[in-house]
Structure 1
Amino acid sequence: MKVYFTFDSRPDLQKQLTEQFPEVEFAFRKGIVDGDLETAEVIVTYGEDLTEEHIFKAHNLKWIFVASAGVEKMPKNAIAERNILVSNVRGIHKKPMTESILAHILAIKRVLPTIYTNQRNKVWDKRGGHPTELNGSTALIIGPGAIGGEIGRLLQAFEVYTIGCNRSGNPADYMNETYRIDDLVEHLPKADIVISVLPSTDETEHLIGYEHFQVMRDNALFMNFGRGNLVETNVLIRALVEKQIGHAVLDVFEEEPLPLDSRLWDMDNVTISPHCSSHSSRYLERSLEIFIPSLKKYLGGDMDIENKMDILRGY
């Protein structure tokens, strides 16, 4: 059986796989190679390089392991038609993403950008920037799953009151309260910090509209770390120009890379992060912690592997 990685990985991780699974033929490439594509039974990908044509060429393909949480760029219909098993690494992003989100919150609350600017300009200003405290704030987390729960856990250590909004309204880990996303407008006015970690699905596209920003506090911090199509760019810009909210921290955008002529680059109430909040030197290690047990199950004929997905639903 052949397992084809469409991206290169660290030699030590390759060695770990080949030694642990001597019965498996592994191919580690940088990109799509037709010969490997046509013979692989399992493909490991970041989810952005496979096309419908590739799926048709992959005659032996039975399982796609996506080393990412999002599958919105994959040829979903072609995969579903072939009934190809798909799983991902949902959950591994929670540590680095939570650290990134917390870092941004603390940086803004404790005016670190101002401190860094003053240092470069050799300015000694003890009163500059008007720092505030995270302690005692209220955070509303849209999508309190694995990542959202970890965000809630650490925020509660700062004595932040956490409100979760999910599809069901059922209680979620590390949320003081949980409500349905359909009732989001009712609960947004309670929040000092609004954090979205939602995936991209048909239901979440443009879920946040202008009316949502209108009911947020005018000093609220809005953070989008899920997918950029949660809100239309022009709607977000309008809300920021009109000061409907205090600041936005954006790790994801409708168009990536963010175009050079985007107004977002020049706005003083926006922090731009280039879709890097989940990056970590340990990313592939954590991916293999999910892939290896799943591969053991697969080789034994057990299809009940971790993070199995409905490719058409996107999760």
Structure 2
Amino acid sequence: MKDKLVIVSTTKMKTVIKEHLNESFPDAVFIWSKSIEEAREHLYKADIILTYGEDLTTEDITSASRLQWIMVISAGMDKMPFEAIDQKGIKITNVKGIHGKPMAEYTVFAILQHARQGKQYYKQEQQKIWSRRAVPVEVEGRNVTILGAGSIGTETAKAVKRFDMHTTGVNTKGTAASHFDKMYSTSQLKEAVSSADYVVNVLPLTDETENIMDRHVFEAMKEEAVFINIGRGSTVQEEDLIDALQKGVIHHAVLDVFNQEPLGESHPFWEMENVTVTPHISGISSGYIPRAMDIFEQNLKAFLRHPESMINVVDVKKGY
């Protein structure tokens, strides 16, 4: 009798999701762990690992002698032990595409919060001050440059278009993308940001994008510009950003991702008036896990019947 497929989850799941998958795939054995520490005793028998992707180590991959496929229920892949995974020929898929709507909404929130002086009026509310000195501005006709014109970037461009804003996109080669008025390549980054009122960074972390947002790029931006980072913290040279904000090179930054997370209590960003900090929540919503598990279920069906039809397959050598 053929052994059943063993699927080990390294992250806590809701009971309704576990019950649905157990019933839908009776020929598979699901081991539902709440953490990687709990899951490690089962990795040696795992054919598939279901994970957020930030917990697996090279040692874990080595111990998982039967492992064929890793399903990462996030889009970020920069903490995966790719070398070990590549050496063993293990397939990786992720949930690329499901972050688009919540991250686009976050971007709209960030733009409107700044334009409508939300931070200032919240402070006045806390202090019980009635003042209209902080004058809101309208966003219609403003320019938004989005760094990264993939699924998240295009969804973001589509969202800001509803406010009649102009959109500029940046991708590797400057190829056309939906909902963008103009496109630039990454080699034209300084030109792409030069006319932007809002620069939205959704770039993944790669060798090419690490620290790509440095002082030269910030100096190319308008003094009135707002920088919004919802991509990866390490695409930004934080010291250069702090310097640009302190010197008034750019006006404001809305930051959801950082080089080190959680952001340390002593980090300057917490105390800077022209910085808004959120705790890496731009992609989180009540619909996140259900959409992620829909992709997993679709891929699991494909894995069992037609592996070549699996979606969101990650290029292990590129890391995304």
Cα distance, 1:281 vs structure 2: 1.8
The CA deviation string for residues 51-105 of structure 1, in whole angstroms up to 9 with x for no partner, is: 0000010011000000011111111100010010001000111111111111111
Contact 1:114 1:128 in 2 (8 A): no
Contact 1:71 1:311 in 2 (8 A): no
From 249, 252, 256, the equivalent of 1:247 is 252
What amino acid does structure 2 have at the position aligned with 1:9? Answer: M
Kindly indicate whether residue 294 of structure 2 is the aligned counterpart of residue 281 of structure 1.
Answer: no
Cα distance, 1:298 vs structure 2: 0.2
What amino acid does structure 2 have at the position aligned with 1:158? Answer: F
My pick for the range that moved more, 152-161 or 183-192, is 183-192
Cα distance, 1:35 vs structure 2: 3.4
What amino acid does structure 2 have at the position aligned with 1:84? Answer: I
Counterpart CA distance in 2 for 1:254 and 1:244 is 21
The CA deviation string for residues 22-52 of structure 1, in whole angstroms up to 9 with x for no partner, is: 1111111012323321111000100111100
What amino acid does structure 1 have at the position aligned with 2:30? Answer: F
> How many equivalent residue pairs?
314
Counterpart CA distance in 2 for 1:235 and 1:22 is 54
Cα distance, 1:269 vs structure 2: 0.5
From 219, 222, 228, the equivalent of 2:224 is 219
Cα distance, 1:286 vs structure 2: 0.6
Contact 1:69 1:89 in 2 (8 A): yes
Q: How does 1:130-169 map to 2 (within 5 A)?
A: 130-169=135-174
Which TM-score applies when normalising by structure 1? 0.97
Which TM-score applies when normalising by structure 2? 0.96
From 21, 25, 35, the equivalent of 2:25 is 21
SS in 2 for 1:190: coil
Counterpart CA distance in 1 for 2:112 and 2:164 is 14
Contact 1:40 1:60 in 2 (8 A): yes
SS in 2 for 1:303: helix
My pick for the range that moved more, 254-263 or 268-277, is 254-263
Cα distance, 1:15 vs structure 2: 1.2
My pick for the range that moved more, 160-169 or 275-284, is 275-284
Does the C-alpha gap of structure 1 residues 34 and 213 become closer, same or farther in structure 2, counting only changes over 3 Å?
A: closer
SS in 2 for 1:218: coil
Q: How does 1:86-165 map to 2 (within 5 A)?
A: 86-125=92-131, 127-165=132-170
Identity among equivalent positions (%) equals 39
Counterpart CA distance in 1 for 2:304 and 2:59 is 27
Cα distance, 1:141 vs structure 2: 0.4
Cα distance, 1:187 vs structure 2: 2.2
Unaligned runs of 5+ in 2: none
Contact 1:76 1:312 in 2 (8 A): yes
Alpha carbon RMSD of aligned pairs, Å? 1.1
Counterpart CA distance in 1 for 2:134 and 2:69 is 52
